[in-house]
Amino acid sequence: MELRQLQYFVKVARKQHVTQAAEEMHVAQSAVSRQIHLLEEELGVSLFVQKGRNLHLTSVGQLFLSRVEGILTDLERAVGEIHEFLDPEAGEIRIGFPHSLVIHLLPSVIAAFKKDHPNVKFRLRQGTYNSLIRDVSKGELDLAFISPFPESHDYVTGEILLTEELFAILPPNHILADYNSIRLQQLKDDSFVMFSEEYTLRSIVMEACVKAGFTPKIEFEGEETDTIRGLVAAGMGVSLLPSMALMEGGIMQPAKIRVTDPQVTRTVGLIRRNEQKLPLVADVFRRFLFDYFQILK
């Protein structure tokens, strides 16, 4: 069974006429008739029945048509995806990101890229540290921003894009709210507002507190930077957040204080599947990110 036979079959089924189908495909009528005949011989059934001047599908022909149309649609989509894979000015980039990067960084990066690549589409997926690594490993994402950057991994590889400072955030009426900088140990008696356990920012803050000589008392937990920031601004406790998560303004804002002892940072990196060739458009975006973050530095 040949692809050409299936294409001829579908065209005749739609036109209900061999001559009209042949004219539209710019081939000889005899060639179309012969291929349909060979297809019916191979299947061992009649796909068409003559009614007047037109050809009508038999019941088995109707069943076969529904299957063949799906096959040809999938094939056409696959060919299109290959063309997009090889075209740096088209196609789609599947990219993942943690919540803490969505407020400012991701929209800015995509907007800057699309100025020179307006036809590129993005499919975005938010996730946690583990889910982003999993989705890149399985090939469900081309690229993912991640923090902290994994130093080594069996299934993903990538590069660090930036190192970002974490600031203490305090209720506006906190005794330390007007300080320019503090030592983290000065917050040992305060209640903390923390991310849930599946978020890596929690482990970064916990490790910093232990390094400062205390275990934080966790009063509230949340899953979004807006929630953490809002609870702190409302006086529910203190916390640490990366600088990018504190760029957006609002009515209720906590005090933002630099932590000098220890200085708390996180790495932000870009990962891709190990030993997997990226679609060309995704690789163009990856190289664009290197230049973009060098400019920011």
Summarised one tens digit per residue, pLDDT across range 29-71 is 898 889 888 988 988 999 989 888 888 999 898 899 988 988 8
Closest-CA residue to 126 (of 109, 146, 149): 146
Range list of H helices, the chain? 3-15, 18-25, 29-43, 59-86, 105-116, 129-137, 200-211, 225-233, 280-296
Token representation of residue 36: 């349909």
What is the spatial distance between Cα 149 and Cα 287, in angstroms, rounded to a whole number?
18
Q: What is the pLDDT of residue 295?
A: 66
E strand segments, 127-229:
143-146, 156-170, 181-183, 191-195, 217-222
Closest-CA residue to 225 (of 147, 277, 141, 134): 147
Closest-CA residue to 268 (of 167, 168, 158, 125): 158
SS3 letters across 5-28: HHHHHHHHHHHCCHHHHHHHHCCC
Instruction: Give the number of residues written for the chain.
Output: 297
Class of domain 92-297 (CATH, top level): alpha beta
- pLDDT string in tens for the chain (297-residue length): 788 888 888 888 888 888 888 888 888 989 888 988 898 898 899 998 988 888 899 989 889 998 898 888 888 777 766 766 666 677 889 999 998 887 778 888 999 999 999 999 999 999 999 999 999 998 899 999 999 999 878 899 999 999 999 999 999 999 999 999 999 999 999 999 999 998 999 999 999 999 999 999 999 999 888 899 999 999 999 999 998 888 766 667 899 999 999 999 999 999 999 988 888 899 999 999 999 988 665
| CATH number corresponding to 3-86 | 1.10.10.10
Question: In this predicted model, what pLDDT tens digit does every residue of 246-255 receive, in sequence order?
Answer: 876 666 789 9
Question: Residue 193 in contact with residue 167, Cβ under 8 Å?
Answer: no
Closest-CA residue to 161 (of 270, 243, 241, 287): 270
Domain ranges in the chain? 3-86, 92-297
Token representation of residue 179: 């300080």
Token representation of residue 73: 């649609």
Q: Report in angstroms the alpha-carbon separations of 42 from 12, 46, 67, 104.
A: 18, 10, 16, 60
Contacts of 129 (CB under 8 A, 6+ apart): 98, 146, 147, 198, 199, 200
- Model confidence pTM above 0.75: no
The sign one gets for the Cα dihedral 13, 18, 20, 24 is: positive
What is the spatial distance between Cα 241 and Cα 165, in angstroms, rounded to a whole number?
8
Question: Residue 175 in contact with residue 163, Cβ under 8 Å?
Answer: no
